[in-house]
Structure 1
Amino acid sequence: MDKEVTVGVDEFSLVLFYPIYDICNDWQSTAYSMIQEFIYKADIEMLLGKVVEMHDKKPQAYSQAFTIENAPYYFAIAMHDNFVHMGILVMFTAQAWATYQERYYQMYGESVNLAKFLRMIDSPFYKFRLSRIDLTADYKNFDDLSPHSIYDKLENEQYIIVDCNDRHSKRKISAVQNDLATETLYIGSRAENSQSLLRVYNKKNEQISTNGFRLDEALNCENWVRIETSFRGKYAHQITEQLKSVFDDISMSQFIASKICDRYRFFDVSTEHYTDFTQYLIEISKNSNYPALRCESPKNNSLNKSIQHIIYGSGLFPLIYKISIIWGDKAVVEFWSILYEIYKKYHKKKLEINPQIRAWLRKNFLSLSQQSLSDCFVSVDLTKIDVAEIVNKISESDNSFTLTAINTSSNKNIVDTQIVSDEEFERSFYSKDME
């Protein structure tokens, strides 16, 4: 049989978001309207079937979910009753997406790819972006290609994996083996928060053993190896934007091949060339000009969580506000000075000999010292604030003043309302910033 290489989209998830950056007063009603709009725009009930409430196997952390009545595949539209920032999750498994594409062709006489689908569902009632997408490269009738042979050569360093700029970085390699034969290998972390993961496995065996929906294809080829890349988080968001420039099936194939090659190219050390199966993908992506997925420079984020807690969850800013109202803005600087003196007199010496602090510093000092202080605020939404400028101006502050009480009896800005804790106020006040 002739060799055959095809690329495609296996499964994907996208999230619909409330379109206005503000508090939604009636989230449940709004969410139902957004779901109805998506179902209408995507022709879900016409192409897949009646949408009904899902009672079992709802996506994790979502309180309500909907699916297709009596469908032999998994498909879900999910929402949380209370949390607007979670949006509405739409999950297409591989079979659900294949069924959708097949019925679209039967209904309209033309194909539909993911780029076209995303244009179809565009609506002023919501914003959306992919949260996960699995892109595949299928190699049929390649006698010398198998997960076992690839894993063996990676372990023996005959193969290395490089990105589109030929940069080689150490990646975690793991395998699932049966009787010492590798059935599946993974490149990258399999943790849920991993931005990308590559999986290589025997697709023919998988379809036969599971009686999969592509069983006929599996039986009609000599062998079938699949290379599958899963992109999440920032990579999936970038792919959402880049798909806007894809308009036909040929460019969609080029796009898929280029995205796989952005992160994963197998390089044969002995020949100093890419492997044949990587070269096939490069040929498919030839003449395309899609920007590579950006791999951000690694940052040491060890301080970010503590800073984020101080800003959003500690009750610090309500306390500062109370001080400023009672004694004036200069009192806030005095407050910092008092805190710093307490730190120097009572805490610094104890911290210097604390074994946990010393261990943390040994681990993080070098990398953090090469970053700026403002880098430690990256987990906080301060996009409109120049943190570096604020830090530079701190040293120019005048700390010499006396505390002066302010008469608040006539202050019209103070409103009598329900009393809440500083922490609760902080969480509610900054809730939309944290989404």
Structure 2
Amino acid sequence: MKAIKNIKIDQIRFTIPINESFLKDTDEPNVIKAINRYFKFKLLFDEPVIKPTGKNGYTNSILWGASEQGGLISVMYNPARVDMGVLIDFTATGKYLYESICQLNGIDVNWRNIITVIYQRFKGHATRIDVAIDLINYGYSVTSIYEKLKSGEYVFINPIKQRINFNRIQYIGRSDEINTIYVGSRYSDAYLRIYNKKLEQMNKKGIFHSLAINCNDWVRVEGEFKNRECHNIGAMVSTLSQDDIEPYLASYVNKHWKLVFNHD
């Protein structure tokens, strides 16, 4: 199998304003109808699962795709907190499921267009974007990358051209086999994971299990962006004229965590 480099949005989350200034406990924001029409949820999926629970302060959830292959797209709101807006959460599996069912129905999924509509038509914004860069059959090893970081042969450079201190780097695995490298804090606006995607898919028998079996190696570099950083990515994407947003996404990851040789 040849070397493959793939860049994509792995999962994404949006917040859209609620137009009503007040909602009763039993009310559903009107904008949810517009969301359903735009994403064609009712056309693509069976009846949603409605739950009187949510997360991150949201109390009501409409779950699409909950019964198909574990995929999940959540639309959440809190009638008592209209200022929080409506949250649309595409998990990684839910996003893949949505794209796959759209393809089966002859519907094009263009994430630049979607992000642009969220920002310009709905006046919303992205609240989380995970950018995944898959490096398949490049001969890379998470263990080797960690060892070179630990020895000082490699260093990460942050957006202001400073080295990221090694104590900001954590790992999961044994000393002789590192499965995942973490850079930064999970609670920050920008957080990096580098992990053995081949091993993950084989252990979980995930949706890319067949690819994992047939490739020699598969390292995923994944930048998780939230809050201000995520807003900036979405705002920039919404102004782009070309559909090919992958180079921009990759450059944003590289800007935050540039891996270079240490020449000191």
Map of 1:9 onto structure 2:
9
Mapping 1:32-431, distance limit 5 Å? 32-54=29-51, 58-68=54-64, 69-71=66-68, 72-108=70-106, 110=108, 112-121=109-118, 126-143=122-139, 145-163=140-158, 166-170=161-165, 172-178=168-174, 180-191=176-187, 194-249=188-243, 251-270=244-263
Measure how far apart 1:247 and its partner are: 4.2
Distance 1:240-1:256 versus aligned 2 partners, 3 A rule: same
TM-score of the pair, normalised by structure 1? 0.56
Q: Which residue number corresponds to residue 282 of structure 1?
A: none
1:98 CA drift (Å): 1.4
How far off is 1:109 after superposition? 5.7
User: Aligned with 2:245: secondary structure?
Assistant: helix
Kept after mapping to 1: 8 A contact 2:18/2:29: no
The percent identity for this pair of structures is 23
Query: Helix, strand or coil: the match of 2:57?
Result: coil
Q: After TM superposition, give the deviation of residue 45 of structure 1 in Å.
A: 2.1
Question: Is residue 142–residue 179 contact of structure 2 (8 Å, CA) maintained in 1?
Answer: yes
- The equivalent of 2:18 in structure 1 is 18
5+ residue gaps, structure 2, are none
User: Greater RCO between the two (CA within 8 Å, min separation 6)?
Assistant: 2
Distance 2:42 2:119 in 1: 17
Structure 1 residues 80-116: Cα deviation after superposition (integer angstroms, max 9, x where no partner): 1201222111110111111222222332364x23212
- For 2:256 and 2:26, the matched residues in 1 are separated by 41
- Cα distance in 2 for partners of 1:28, 1:254 equals 44
In 1, the alpha carbon distance for the partners of 2:25 and 2:241 equals: 35
Distance in 1 between residues matched to 2:42 and 2:253, nearest whole Å: 32
Using the TM superposition, give the Cα deviation of residue 34 of structure 1 relative to its aligned residue in structure 2, in angstroms: 1.2
Cα deviation for residue 269 of structure 1 reads: 1.5
The code of the aligned residue for 1:41 comes to: Y
Determine helix, strand or coil for the equivalent of 2:211: helix
Counterpart amino acid of residue 169 in structure 2: I
Q: Please tell me the residue identity of whatever aligns with 1:7.
A: I
Whole-angstrom distance in 2 between the partners of 1:211 and 1:85: 41
Q: Residues 281-308 of structure 1: CA distance to partner in whole angstroms, max 9, x if unpaired?
A: xxxxxxxxxxxxxxxxxxxxxxxxxxxx
- Asked whether the 8 Å contact 1:7–1:137 carries over to 2, the reply is yes
- Distance in 1 between the 2:143 and 2:17 partners? 43
Per-residue CA deviation, residues 218-262 of structure 1 (Å, 9 max, x unaligned), is 12211100000000010011111101133444x211111111112
Deviation at 1:179, TM superposition (A): 5.8
RMSD: 2.4
Contact map agreement 1:13 1:130 (CA 8 A) in 2: yes
Instruction: Kindly provide the amino acid, as one letter, of the partner of residue 79 in structure 2.
Output: D
Larger of the two Rg values belongs to structure: 1
1:77 CA displacement: 0.9
Q: Is the 8 A contact 2:16 2:123 kept in 1?
A: yes
Q: Find the residue that maps to 1:70 and give its secondary structure.
A: coil
Q: Which runs of 5+ in 1 are unaligned?
A: 273-435
Contact 2:13–2:87 under 8 Å retained in 1: yes
Q: 1:2 to 1:129 in 2, by over 3 A?
A: same
TM-score of the superposition, structure 2-length normalised? 0.89
| Cα pair 1:27 1:84 within 8 Å, conserved | no
Distance 2:22 2:262 in 1: 60
Instruction: In structure 1, give the amino acid aligned to 2:181.
Output: L
Deviation at 1:47, TM superposition (A): 2.7
Q: Structure 1 residue 264: deviation in Å?
A: 1.2
SS of the counterpart of 1:32? coil
Query: C-alpha separation between the residues in 2 aligned to 1:146 and 1:65?
Result: 40
Q: Which has the larger share of strand?
A: 2
Looking at structure 1, the residues matched to 141 and 28 of structure 2 have their Cα atoms a distance apart, in angstroms, of: 46
| Greater than 4 Å deviation, 4+ residue runs | 27-31, 120-124
Number of residue equivalences: 261
Aligned counterparts of 2:36 and 2:82: Cα–Cα separation in 1: 19
What do the CA deviations read for 1:163-203 (whole angstroms, capped 9, x no partner)?
Answer: 45643343611111136421101000123xx1100000000
